[in-house]
C-alpha cells in the first residue's frame, strides 16, 4: 500500500551497497520492471535508511550470537566510511 520506491530500493541496495545482486541482474530487473529507482531524486535518502536498517538488523543479531559480531562491525565501518566504496560485500545474516 505504500510507495513502490520503498520496495524497489531494497533491490537497488542489494546491487549498489551489498553486492548481493550483480549489476547485470539489477539492469535486467529494471528492464523488466520498467524503472530504475536509483535515477529518482529521493533514492539516496531511502537507500541510506535501508542501509541503516540492515546495519541495525545485524547488530541486533550479533547481540545474541557472537558469530555475527564481525559482520555487524563491518557494516558499521562501511557506513562510517572506513571500508572503501560501495558495493561492500555484506554477508547475509541468518
pTM across the whole model: 0.86
Question: Per this entry, what is the length of the chain?
Answer: 94
Distance CA 35, CA 27 (A): 10
Dihedral of the alpha carbons of 57, 2, 14, 77, in degrees to the nearest 10: -40
pLDDT in the model for residue 94: 67
Q: Where are the domains of the chain?
A: 4-79
The residues near 79 (Cβ < 8 Å, ≥ 6 apart) are: 51, 52, 55
Q: Mean pLDDT, consecutive 10-residue segments, the chain of 94 residues?
A: 86 94 96 95 96 94 94 94 89 78
Amino acid at each position: 500500500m505504500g510507495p513502490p520506491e520503498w520496495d524497489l530500493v531494497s533491490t537497488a541496495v542489494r546491487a549498489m551497497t551489498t553486492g548481493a545482486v550483480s549489476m547485470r541482474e539489477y539492469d535486467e530487473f529494471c528492464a523488466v520492471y520498467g524503472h530504475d529507482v536509483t535515477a529518482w531524486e529521493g533514492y539516496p535518502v531511502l537507500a541510506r535508511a535501508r542501509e541503516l536498517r540492515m546495519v541495525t538488523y545485524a547488530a541486533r543479531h550479533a547481540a545474541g550470537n557472537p558469530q555475527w559480531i564481525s559482520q555487524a562491525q563491518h557494516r558499521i565501518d562501511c557506513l562510517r566510511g572506513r571500508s572503501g566504496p560501495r558495493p561492500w560485500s555484506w554477508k547475509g545474516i541468518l
